[in-house]
Structure 1
Amino acid sequence: MLRVLITGATGFIGSHIADSLVKSNYEVIALKRENSDCWRCEEINDKIKWINLDEEGQWKKVVIRYNPEVFIHSAWIGVEAHERDNIKTQIKNIDFLTDLLEIAKELKIRKFVNLGSQAEYGCIDGKVNESFNANPTTTYGSVKLASLEIFKTFCIQHNINWVWLRLFSFFGEKECRNWLIPALIQRMQESNEMDFTPGLQKYAYLYVKDLGEITNRMISQPIDSGIYNVSSNQAITLKVLIEKIRDKIAPTFKLNFGALSYRENQSMHIEGDSSKLINQLGEIQLTDFDQALNSTIEYYISNK
């Protein structure tokens, strides 16, 4: 049984990856804080070996004792909009990464998967592949990019198969309630109308459960070290997304498109080209968008 260490398992994306790992019968070892809220992992909580990060000087020894063969690093502090330019918060992520790299070196792990972000690219207006110039416009994106360079160099020096996933737009169950889709659903249940921009900006939304399947494949089969975009291949406008949610929840809800202006330097098309990933892993069968959106909506309605 493959032993996999995952960080960030109590978060939105990490919890779905952890769920997929458990369902694939991997031995899952996860790091968390004493005060971490594990509600996203309730269904798999007893199938995970948890390690308390707040036990200074001890958690690293426990990881080494469990001897994982693969690392998946999905933890990151400072993902909320108001924290993305807080340099003191963002830089702490590099300290944690270096701790993990030192452990990986000691254990001689065979593969290390790290989650990056489209924010490393900076302003995007179209479909981009991994050769697109990285020019981040936020501290969050800059620290992600710096982390990539540290991660890549260290792994090359110590012969670790390294994978950096540049994640684009995701949606699904168990998001934070203030994020777009759950916030829209709540608003549509509580009021009669809402103001929006024209909503013509396009995003390639990927269902978060599909990322779990992608990660599973990544650790179970060979993959070249490198950077890989992870994105849906079907971009839709924000207007269409909002209308789909409205039609499902409250068909009479009034959508005031054009009542608000776009923010300054608004990107109108953000999409990643995932061809490189598909060439490595083979064709990836993604969940039908409408089916995934309906499942997501039903989840938030049932879990107010």
Structure 2
Amino acid sequence: MKISILGSNGFLSTAIAKYANQENWSLDVYGLDKPVGHTCDNFYKVNLMDAALDCSGLMDSDIVIYAIGAGIQANLKESIDLVYNLNVTVPVSICNKLKELGYKGRFVTFGSVFEMGETFEEKYFTEDDILASTCSAPNDYTISKRMLSRFVSSYKHDFIHWHFYIPTIYGAEENPQRLIPYVINTIRKGEELHFTSGDQIRQYVHVSEIPRMLALAFKKNLSSGLYNIQGSETAMVKEIVTELHRVMGKDVSDSCFGSVQRADTGMKYLALDGKKLRDAIGFEASVKIIDVIKTY
């Protein structure tokens, strides 16, 4: 099997590339920098902010994966132009170009549970719930991801297009400012932790589950559509923090909660219902946070 990944060293693209290496798939990578930590058959240096992608080289790929994005990490302070270009304009352009060229394989894009917006409703949201949400969007990342999802749900094409909504993904190589590595590293340093109230509920999926799901989708010949990847755990942020302290033999201080503000605190409950994908290919996430803490 041959796959092409757009995005060379991102958290998700790296996990998919490593899985491809493990499975001995042929792999082409497109990005700003050469892959680090994984290998590929061909690397193509591209800057999608400067020029449109020449999609002719993608035509013989069984799967083309768009794993480029911007805006998810607020601390990076990426420009609005970057967010909308990489999250909307570029993937839409690639969709249209693949259609024009007569691509016959599978194209993969990713949505986010954050597209649900600021909701207090406590339920596992379906694909239709997220696609139709009019809840207030707290940032440009959320808005841009909604725009892509609504395009994907509407445009006509002959190739297979899988658009996967993902919950919070985690793993040892994630940004150190994200919740799990932040807690672990701060405890190790003996420093003071700072959080919001911690009462937001989030769903978590280990990054290794994504390439495993893609391989299963290919094997089962999954139809085009929008699909939720349901994580194996749904928990309050405060519960995750407390469990990490317990595993590391420390007591969590209540004073660390409520000391900072974040844009996503208005999104009180974000969890995906994965029944559609589970019924289609039998996928269920299995990795638990406690199982992989030592990998950090």
Q: Write the mapping of 1:219-238 to structure 2, written as runs, cut at 5 A.
A: 219-238=218-237
Q: Is the 8 A contact 1:87 1:139 kept in 2?
A: yes
Counterpart Cα distance in 1 of 2:64 and 2:158: 14
How many Å apart are 1:19 and its aligned residue?
1.5
- Encode CA deviations 1:85-123: one digit per residue, 9 max, x unaligned: 953222212332244224423152321111111122212
Matched letter for residue 17 of structure 1: I
Counterpart Cα distance in 2 of 1:284 and 1:53: 35
* 1:29 alignment counterpart: 28
- CA 1:128 to 1:59, structure 2 compared with 1: closer, same or farther past 3 Å? closer
Residues 1:80 and 2:73 are matched in the alignment? yes
Out of 98, 106, 111, the residue aligned to residue 106 of structure 2 is 111
Q: Is the 8 A contact 2:7 2:30 kept in 1?
A: yes
Matched letter for residue 159 of structure 2: I
Out of 78, 83, 94, the residue aligned to residue 90 of structure 1 is 83
DSSP 3-state at the match of 1:72: strand
Matched letter for residue 141 of structure 1: T
How many Å apart are 1:245 and its aligned residue?
1.5
Question: Which deviates the most, 129-138 or 259-268?
Answer: 259-268
DSSP 3-state at the match of 1:189: helix
How many Å apart are 1:38 and its aligned residue?
3.7
Question: Percent identity, aligned pairs only?
Answer: 16
DSSP 3-state at the match of 1:165: strand
How many Å apart are 1:260 and its aligned residue?
3.4
* 1:287 alignment counterpart: 287
- CA 1:226 to 1:117, structure 2 compared with 1: closer, same or farther past 3 Å? same
Q: Write the mapping of 1:36-47 to structure 2, written as runs, cut at 5 A.
A: 36=33, 38-39=35-36, 42=37, 44-45=38-39, 47=40
- CA 1:28 to 1:236, structure 2 compared with 1: closer, same or farther past 3 Å? same
Instruction: Mark the runs of 5 or more structure 1 residues left unpaired by the alignment.
Output: none
How many Å apart are 1:20 and its aligned residue?
1.6
Q: Is the 8 A contact 2:230 2:285 kept in 1?
A: no
- TM-score (normalised: structure 1): 0.82
Q: Is the 8 A contact 2:166 2:229 kept in 1?
A: yes
- CA 1:13 to 1:160, structure 2 compared with 1: closer, same or farther past 3 Å? same
Q: Is the 8 A contact 2:201 2:270 kept in 1?
A: yes
Q: Write the mapping of 1:141-290 to structure 2, written as runs, cut at 5 A.
A: 141-154=142-155, 156=156, 158-252=157-251, 254-256=253-255, 258-260=257-259, 266-284=266-284, 286-290=286-290
- CA 1:131 to 1:117, structure 2 compared with 1: closer, same or farther past 3 Å? same
- Paired positions, count: 286
How many Å apart are 1:256 and its aligned residue?
2.6
DSSP 3-state at the match of 1:175: coil
How many Å apart are 1:53 and its aligned residue?
0.7
Q: Is the 8 A contact 1:231 1:271 kept in 2?
A: yes
How many Å apart are 1:273 and its aligned residue?
0.6
How many Å apart are 1:14 and its aligned residue?
1.5
How many Å apart are 1:205 and its aligned residue?
1.0
Matched letter for residue 299 of structure 1: T
Counterpart Cα distance in 1 of 2:102 and 2:158: 12
Matched letter for residue 117 of structure 2: G
* 2:9 alignment counterpart: 10
DSSP 3-state at the match of 1:205: strand
Matched letter for residue 13 of structure 2: G
How many Å apart are 1:9 and its aligned residue?
3.6
Instruction: Mark the runs of 5 or more structure 2 residues left unpaired by the alignment.
Output: none
How many Å apart are 1:182 and its aligned residue?
1.2
DSSP 3-state at the match of 2:284: coil
Counterpart Cα distance in 1 of 2:178 and 2:26: 31
Q: Is the 8 A contact 2:70 2:141 kept in 1?
A: no
RMSD of aligned alpha carbons: 2.9
Residues 1:140 and 2:137 are matched in the alignment? no
Matched letter for residue 182 of structure 1: P
Counterpart Cα distance in 1 of 2:214 and 2:117: 25
